[in-house]
Amino acid sequence: MYKKIITGAVATAVAVATFVSTAHAEDTLYIPALSYRTGAFAGGGTPFANGFMDYLAMLNARDGGIGGVKIVNEECETAYNAQKGVECYEATKGNGALVYNPLSTGITLQLIPKAPVDEIPVLSMGYGLSAAGIGEKFPWTFTYPTSYWSQMSSILKYIDSNGGLKGQKIGFIYLDVGYGREPIPLLEKLAPQLGFEVAMFPVAGKEMQAQSAQWLNVRKERPDWMIMWGWGSMNPTAIKEAAKIRYPMDRFIGNWWSSAHADLVPVGEAGKGYVGANFSGIGTDFQALQDVIKYVIEPGNTRTDPSKVGDVLYNRGLYNAVIVAEAVETAQKMTGKSAISGADMRLGLENFNLDATRLAELGLAGFAGDLKGDCVDHEGGGPVFMQQWDGENWVKITDPIAPMSDVVRPLLEAAADAYVADKPEWKTQTCN
Amino acid sequence: MGSFIYSVLGDPFVQMLQMPDFLMQVVWEGFVSGILYALIALGFVLIFKASGIFNFAQGIMVVFSGLTLVGLHELGVPAFLALFITLGVMYVLAFSVERLVLRNLVNQPDIILFMATIGLTNILIGLGQWIFGGETKSMITEQLWLPTGSSVWEPGGGLVIFQHIDIAAAVIAALLIICLALFFSKTKVGRALRAVADDHQASLSVGISLNHIWVITWFAAGIVALVAGIMWGARSDVSFSLQIIALKALPVLVLGGFTSVPGAIVGGLIIGIGEKLFEIYWGPLFGSGIEGWFAYVIALIFLLFRPQGLFGEKIIERV
């Protein structure tokens, strides 16, 4: 009797699971979000996740999803922990996941080898492994709209245009984890090539809010410029410490994870002049943002504090969702299917075209630079612009600065070759 | 070989002599860090003295108290009323810990109580994130009439910068320690606390209520955590990553002794100043970033030669 009950229960469970899985795969677009609203980096993870979730929720509310198919957007909390990130991946991939956006270089590095096996692409938007921008070597990973290496080269170009790079000492303060260390190989190669000197200032995770030693070293080394690859509470602490030693703020440049409202609002007036890189729009003066407010924020279908809509990290999360949505729509058109697979999504990511006309159609005119999916170039090679903190808000101060592609691309190709060299089973692709 | 010996035994001291103002700055920064480490260590010492528990939750108590204060102020509560309410919250926490955890674990091995404080840590992390969210918050420094800005001293054309909040941290920490010392030595409750610290059984036999003492001890540790939270928060904001800094108190405790209030202070200062000096002058030999582990090297050396710490009571086990 018991045996029959147990067998029946198991059969029912399998049937329900199969139905749910099939339902995800056939009737919806399942896009998991590996987000983090807890842990030491929640300050950055939360607004990014809000922007990502709200844009997709807006598409559901306004357009009924993408191509008439509803989006199922499910968050899984990673706490910026690679192990938890992999657990989230394993727990959600069976639901018909179309793409993973890990929001962590550590998690991205774990997912890169899994992507070709499970045929689910990874979009590490502006983070992750820079070498993954070489599409022929990494068919399943994308770093649109640009990579850490390209970004670093754009920052160096900005320095060069503000008094020259040759003979300068560049201080590099970074969170001493995979993310922070990512651009070091590029800096070390470019320094002798372009004639500048580099001084490194690592900040361990547990020292994020106790950086006085690093900044005493900065005072001792006297770098002409400081570049920061920080995240979470490391950023406001570093800017406060810089102000403490009276480092000139207009010579202190944060990358795009070190120059958000969440980083500068706690610093306030003391951070005036601090410069940051960015690639997505600021504020809510875009029709798409207004639609998000109308369809998601005002009805209260969100976890977002309404006053934070339009902030730097919110808009960057939203831009991530825009790229995903555009790739989905492209894949639908290319395959003729409404409910696409991960492999279809990969095609979409290699063929979408977010040019100025398309951005305007989406209600995002001027929000970001042109971005075109490509088989060879999974990086996008996109430019970044510089913004400056005026004590209360960010102000855009430069036009888009293109990366030094002629210098960076060969280095990326060499790094990609090195990555796959000891992996005989690694699947590459040939682009026409 | 010769150059290595020079870089270890010669160059750092030459640098100190060449830039004495910078040396003073390094020592001052180490002093302030040391004071703050001592504050956190003090919370550990209070609880360890009274109950023999290493309270792993002391770090999150620093964050939780700071977040409560800032969170209340964000809701529109005036700063000093928020401070008063936060003290009330820390009392409720102390009472709850005694009633829900300690009372039920009396006579259990120390490791069980230690594990219970790890559980408490995770509960407070979850509770804090649920109530206040995970975003970094600014300490209400000016609203609490704490000083901001800095003063400059230029000895011989050099430059030493003193942040006013750092000076305030040193003064407030000193006042807190004096208050605690007076409380322990001059009040009836303080003497009862010391009796409990010396011998639980004997204290019970003369009518001292262990439960009552534990509530007071945890509340005192909560007050110390709140002061540490305000001071660290004023220097670098309040976020959950602040709790990791509490681990810096571990080498301080090894150095100063788990049961000694003066030990926590002296240990904090030795660790604070020592790690800054070594990071700045000897750090480049190791590729920098030695601050994170150097404190543990000092602690390990002390552990080998004086396991009870500088001021700790000598460990005598009678068989």
| pLDDT tens for chain A, residues 1 to 432 | 455 555 555 555 544 444 444 444 458 999 999 999 988 888 889 999 999 999 999 999 999 999 999 999 999 999 999 999 999 999 999 999 999 999 999 999 999 999 999 999 999 998 999 899 999 999 999 999 988 999 999 999 999 999 999 999 999 999 998 889 999 999 999 999 999 999 999 998 888 888 989 999 999 999 999 999 999 889 999 999 999 999 999 999 999 999 999 899 988 899 999 999 999 999 999 999 999 999 999 999 999 999 999 999 999 999 999 999 999 999 999 999 999 999 999 999 999 999 999 999 999 999 998 999 999 999 987 789 999 999 999 999 999 999 999 889 999 999 999 999 989 889 899 997
Whether B314 maps to a domain, the answer reads no
* Res A10: pLDDT: 52
User: Which residue of chain A comes nearest to B18, CA vs CA?
Assistant: A220
CB contact under 8 A, A217 and B283: yes
Tokens linked to A403: 């990366």
CA A316/CA A309 separation, integer angstroms: 11
Determine the residue of chain A that is closest to B129 in CA distance. Answer: A38
* Alpha-carbon span A34 to A217, nearest angstrom: 36
Chain A residues with CB inside 8 Å of B137's CB?
Answer: 266
Could A210 and B283 be called an inter-chain contact, meaning their C-beta atoms sit closer than 8 Å? no
Is some CB atom of chain A closer than 8 A to the CB atom of B237? yes
Question: How far is the alpha carbon of A37 from chain B, nearest alpha carbon, in Å?
Answer: 6
Between B49 and B223, the higher pLDDT residue: B223
Residue B311 lies in a domain: no
In a domain, B319, yes or no: no
Reduced to 3 states, what is the DSSP secondary structure of residue A318? helix
pLDDT for A222 equals 93
Q: Is the peptide bond before A403 cis (omega within 30 degrees of 0)?
A: no
**Cross-chain CB nearest to A212 (options B29, B129, B138):** B29
Q: Using CB atoms, which residue from B136, B240, B280 is nearest to A39?
A: B240
Nearest to B289 among A176, A210, A212 (CB): A176
Tens digits of residue pLDDT in B248-285: 888 998 888 888 888 888 999 999 999 999 999 998 88
DSSP, residue by residue, B88-129:
HHHHHHHHHIIIIIIGGGTTS-HHHHHHHHHHHHHHHHHHHH
Coil, strand or helix at B228: helix
**Chain B hits for A313, Cβ within 8 Å:** none
- In the predicted model, is pLDDT for residue B311 greater than 90? no
- Nearest partner of A175 among A110, A128, A212, A228, judged by Cα: A228
Is residue B109 assigned to a domain?
yes
pLDDT at A18: 45
Residue B102 has pLDDT above 80, yes or no: yes
What does the pLDDT average to over B29-43? 91
Radius of gyration of chain A, Cα coordinates, nearest whole angstrom: 22
Q: Please indicate whether, in this complex, the C-beta atoms of A213 and B279 are within 8 angstroms of each other.
A: yes
Put simply, whether A238 touches B (Cβ < 8 Å) is no
The single-letter DSSP state of residue B196 is: H
Domains in chain A, start-ordered, CATH in brackets? 2-147+282-383 (3.40.50.2300), 149-281+386-410 (3.40.50.2300)
Give yes or no for B138 touching A (CB within 8 A): yes
Q: Please answer yes or no on whether A237 and B237 come within 8 Å at the CB atom.
A: yes
Using an 8 Å CB-CB cutoff, list chain B residues near A213: 29, 275-276, 279-280, 283, 291
pLDDT given at position A23: 43
Indicate whether B94 belongs to any domain: yes
Q: Cα angle at B136 between B132 and B141, to 5 degrees?
A: 95
CB-CB contact of A133 with A377 (8 Å) = yes
Cα nearest neighbour of A219 on chain B: B22
Q: Are strands A169-175 and A197-203 parallel, antiparallel or unpaired?
A: parallel
Taking the C-alpha atoms of residue A107 and residue B253, their distance in angstroms, rounded to an integer, is 36
Q: What is the dihedral of CA B100, B102, B103, B104, to 10 degrees?
A: 70
Q: Does B141 contact A at CB distance below 8 Å? A: no
Mean pLDDT, chain B, rounded, equals 88
Q: Give the separation between CA A415 and CA A185, rounded to whole angstroms.
A: 10
Write out pLDDT tens, residues B104-159.
Answer: 887 788 889 899 999 999 999 989 988 988 888 889 999 999 998 899 998 888 89
Contacts of B163 in chain A (CB under 8 A): 244
Handedness of CA A143, A148, A151, A157 (dihedral sign): negative
- The pLDDT of B41-49, averaged and rounded, is 88
**How far apart, in Å, are the Cα atoms of B261 and each of A402, B117, B133, B174, B312?**
59, 21, 34, 12, 9
Q: Report the pLDDT value the prediction gives residue A114, as an integer from 0 to 100.
A: 96
- Whether B244 contacts chain A with CB within 8 A: yes
Please check whether residue A142 is in contact with residue A132, taking contact to mean a CB–CB distance below 8 angstroms. yes
Residues of B in Cβ contact (< 8 Å) with A219: 22, 25
pLDDT at position B299 is 86
Q: Domain range holding B299? A: 2-305
Domain for residue B174, yes or no? yes
The answer to whether B166 contacts chain A (CB < 8 Å) is no
pLDDT at B72: 94
Pairwise CB contact (< 8 Å): B292 & A201? no
B233 is a domain residue = yes
Which of A200, A209, A219 is facing B288, going by the closest CB pair? A200
CB B25 to CB A208 under 8 A?
Answer: no
- Residue B318 within any structural domain of the chain: no
Spatial distance between the Cα atoms of A44 and B208, rounded to a whole number of angstroms: 50
Number of folded domains that form chain B: 1
- Give the separation between CA A428 and CA A417, rounded to whole angstroms: 11
Sequence-ordered strand ranges (E) for A78-224? 122-123, 141-142, 169-175, 197-203
> How many C-beta atoms surround the C-beta of residue A334 within 10 A?
15
A100 strand-pairing partners: A122
Please tell me the distance from the alpha carbon of residue A248 to that of residue A294, in angstroms, as a whole number: 42
pLDDT tens-place string over residues A350-369: 999 999 999 999 999 999 98
CA distance B38 to B169: 11
pLDDT of residue B186: 86
**Under an 8 A CB cutoff, do A206 and B239 touch?**
no
Q: Is the peptide bond before A145 cis (omega within 30 degrees of 0)?
A: yes
B236 near A CB under 8 A = yes
